[in-house]
Every structure is written in structure tokens, then in C-alpha cells.
Amino acid sequence: MKTAVFSSKPHDFQFLSEANQKLDRPHEFNFLELRLTEKTVRLAEGHQAVCGFVNDEFTAQVLTQLAAFGIKIIALRCAGFNNVDLEAAEQIGLPVVRVPYYSPHAVAEHTLCLMLALNRQVYRAHQRIREGDFSLHGLMGFDMFGKTVGVVGTGAIGQCVVRILNGLGCQVLAYDVHPQPAVVAAGATYVDLETVLFESDIVTLHCPLLPETHHLISAQRIERMKPGVMIINTSRGGLVDARAVIDGLKSRKIGALGLDVYEEEADLFFEDRSNDLLQDDVFARLTTFPNVLVTGHQAFFTKEALQQIAKTTVESLASFEANLPLTFQLKYSNA
Ligand code: NAI
């Protein structure tokens, strides 16, 4: 299928091209660097499919325009789909597929990377060493062994996180709207959301961004969390109220914060902005704290994950072209 690939980077070109060549009838990919928005939607004209990523804006208006241009299917090369108006897509009759499962290990391991790096202040320590400062003051961490870690959302990624934490000897409290026996077998104890948030030394988020999970980490909840709590978010930025965590960091209620995602990341992440003046004061403030570690939505970014994302994406497009059932289609009704 003639497919416009928005927000594409060199790695998208590499991995999608490699997977595409393995098909009997390869697709015709047009790699576009621009993010899909109301301003760039016209670039989709002349294609039959659109392939998008986490910050492409599949609003009702954009979807209507895409359908008018003759686009027949949307293929998300990611798991999250909070950037798609699924209700509008369904009304317009545009199927949307995603890659629900590629490498939960990639995201889980990055989550632990943030947790451990914050705890042992690896980044600060390395900066000091480079300046010839070999002192240890301010670098003291804590044993992960025996600490209580709260996992919110125990799907594919949350489950991997539980297994790793169990290996470290942590006590794992978990919350999910759909508890799973495999998570209990992996060593976690399901409790209610409040208990997870208020009884844990570390809280890590692995649920989707939905209206009911928006600002799940709020000022009111931070107030009731353990003093010095570490919060990790590798899920979606909107789960955390950034202004509230800044207040929590300033009052030292929050002891450390690790973010791979940020609510307003669409205008920041995935581009080199080192020559720009940062306009987002909230984000700028976050990066001033010595106990905050931010990565730019890279938790998924491993070779294995990219191979699987590309494979699933080209195969979903091929299934659509061959009129076969779409295994990974999103439905508004059961999203
Ligand atoms: P999943 O669909 O396997 O698991 C999500 C879990 O959240 C499910 O068990 C679900 O029941 C639970 N859940 C739904 N509503 C909830 C609520 N209100 N409270 C608590 N739990 C709730 O998804 P997966 O693959 O584990 O991904 C989790 C999230 O990680 C995704 O939604 C996505 O936003 C994010 N993600 C981030 C990546 C990154 O690179 N930073 C890469 C991939 C995913």
C-alpha cells in the first residue's frame, strides 16, 4: 500500500524498510519527517494508508481530512493510542491498528534503569568525576532489597516490572482495574490504588492514559504519599500533574522523579532543540532538580522492539490490503 509514514526518523526508515522487504508484496513507504497535525495533514494526499507515532495528532478534524484524501487505514507504530480520536475514526469508518505487544521488556528495563540511576545518583556521580570531584556527599542511596514498590497497571509492561522487582527482593504492591493471577504468581500483592500510592517507597506507572487516569499523580495524592517517595513514569505524560510534582519536589515530599514521558512532550521530544530557547517553563523547572531524571520517550527504543514494531506494522497493512481480519485493530467500544 502507498503509505505516508509521519514523524519518521532514520530508525523508522531502517526497520520498516527491512520488514517490508520480507513481504511478498512490499508496501510503498513515503517517509515524512513532519509530525501529523492539522497543518501537515495535506501531505497524506495521494496515499492509501497513514502510519503514525505517539505524538501524531489523529483528531476528528485530521481523520475527516485523511478520509477525504482517500486514506483507508491508520497504522500506529506504537502501543499507546491516546492521540487518536477512536470514536471519530469509527464514525468515519477508518480502521486503526496498533502494535500492542512488541517488547514490554524494553520499557520495563528502562523503568528500572531510571529507578536505579536515581537511587544511586549515577548521573550526578559521573558529572562530579568528570570535574575531578571524587567526594560522596549527597550521593547516598538506599538498598532496593526490602523496599515497597507500587506498580499501577499490571499489563504486559507492568508484569515485567513486577518480575524484575521481585528479583531485587522488593515488596511489590500492585493495582489494576483487571488484576491478573500471573502478577500474583510473579510476587505482587494486589491492593487498592490508594494503598499502592500511599504505602510505597517507589511508585511506578504502567497504565494507559484515559480520562480516569489523567493526573493520577495529583497534588492531593502527593500530599498523602510517603515522605521522600520516588515516582517513575514511563507510560504517558498526562498521568502526572507536572506542576504538582514540582511543588512536591520543592517541599522534599517527593525524593526523586524519573520521567520518560511528559504531558506537553509533543513540542519537545524526538527533535534536536539545542539551538532553541526552551519555552516550556514547567519542563525547564523540572530539569533543574538534582533528583529528577528525564529521558525523551526512549523506553521503547531497543533493537528488538523496533524490529517487532516494524514487522507487526507491515503485516497489519498487508492484512488490510488482502482483506484479511485485522488482529490488532482498535475499537472505540472496547478501547
Ligand atoms: P497493557 O494494555 O498491556 O497494560 C495496561 C494495563 O493497565 C492493563 O492491565 C489495564 O487493565 C490497566 N489499566 C487500565 N486502566 C487502568 C486504571 N484506570 N488503573 C490502573 N490500571 C489500569 O499496556 P502495556 O503494554 O503494559 O503499556 C502500558 C503503557 O505504557 C501504555 O499504555 C503506554 O502508554 C506506555 N508505553 C510507553 C512506552 C515508552 O516508550 N515510554 C512504550 C510502550 C508503552
Tens-place pLDDT, residues 139-195 = 999 999 999 999 999 999 999 999 999 999 999 999 999 999 999 999 999 999 999
Q: How many angstroms separate the CA atoms of 125 and 117, rounded? A: 10
Going from the Cα of 160 to the center of ligand 1, the distance in angstroms, rounded, reads 12
The overall average pLDDT reported for the chain is: 97
Q: Do the strands 96-97 and 329-330 form a parallel or antiparallel pair, or are they unpaired?
A: antiparallel
The whole-number average pLDDT for the span 3-28 is: 97
Q: Give the pLDDT band (50/70/90) at residue 55.
A: very high
* Known catalytic residue at 215: no
* 297 catalytic per annotation: yes
pLDDT reading at 233 higher than 80: yes
Instruction: Give CA–CA dist 64/283, Å, rounded.
Output: 33
Largest CA distance in the chain: 65
Q: Which atom of ligand 1 is nearest to the CA of 261?
A: 41
What average pLDDT does this structure show over 198-213?
Answer: 97
* Ligand 1 mutation pick, 53, 177, 194, max ligand atoms within 8 A of CB: 177
Whole-number pLDDT of residue 333: 73
Cell of 14: 531502517
| Cβ(98)–Cβ(328) below 8 Å | yes
The catalytic position among 27, 263, 297, 315 is 297
The DSSP bridge pattern shows strands 229-233 and 254-259 to be parallel
How high is the pLDDT of residue 101?
A: 87
CA of 142 from ligand 1 middle (Å) equals: 28
Question: Residue 335's pLDDT is what?
Answer: 59
Q: Name beta bridge partners: 292.
A: 257
Per-residue pLDDT of 272-330, as tens digits, reads 999 999 999 999 999 999 999 999 999 999 999 999 999 999 999 999 999 999 999 99
Which residue among 265, 285, 315, 321 is the active-site one?
265
Q: What average pLDDT score do residues 111-135 get? A: 97
Ligand 1 pocket test, pick from 53, 86, 204, 235 with the greatest ligand atom count within 8 Å of Cβ, gives 235
Count how many residues are written for the chain: 335
User: What is the model's pLDDT at position 99?
Assistant: 96
SS (H, E, C) the chain: CEEEECCCCHHHHHHHHHHHHCCCCCCEEEECCCCCCCCCHHHHCCCCEEEECCCCCECHHHHHHHHHCCCCEEEECCCCCCCECHHHHHHHCCCEECCCCCCHHHHHHHHHHHHHHHHCCHHHHHHHHHCCCCCCCCCCCCCCCCCEEEEECCCHHHHHHHHHHHHCCCEEEEECCCCCHHHHHCCEEECCHHHHHHHCCEEEECCCCCHHHCCCECHHHHHHCCCCEEEEECCCHHHECHHHHHHHHHCCCEEEEEECCCCCHHHCCCCCCCCCCCCCHHHHHHCCCCCEEECCCCCCCCHHHHHHHHHHHHHHHHHHHCCCCCCCEECCCCC
Instruction: Report yes or no: 296 and 270 within 8 Å, Cβ to Cβ.
Output: yes
How far, in Å, are 16, 26, 90, 279 from residue 335 at the CA level?
A: 26, 30, 12, 34
User: Measured from the CA of 154, which atom of ligand 1 is nearest?
Assistant: 9
**What value does the mean pLDDT take over residues 130-138?**
97
Give the C-alpha separation, 180 to 294, whole Å: 30
Does 246 have pLDDT greater than 80? yes
User: 57, 236, 263, 315: which is the annotated catalytic residue?
Assistant: 236
Residue nearest to atom 14 of ligand 1 (CA): 207
pLDDT of residue 334: 57
Q: What percent of the chain has pLDDT over 90?
A: 97
Mean pLDDT of 109-118: 98
Place of cell 505524560: 237
Angle between helices 122-130 and 104-119 (to 10 degrees): 60
Can you tell me the mean pLDDT for 15-26?
97
Return the closest-CA partner of residue 96 out of 317, 322, 311. 317
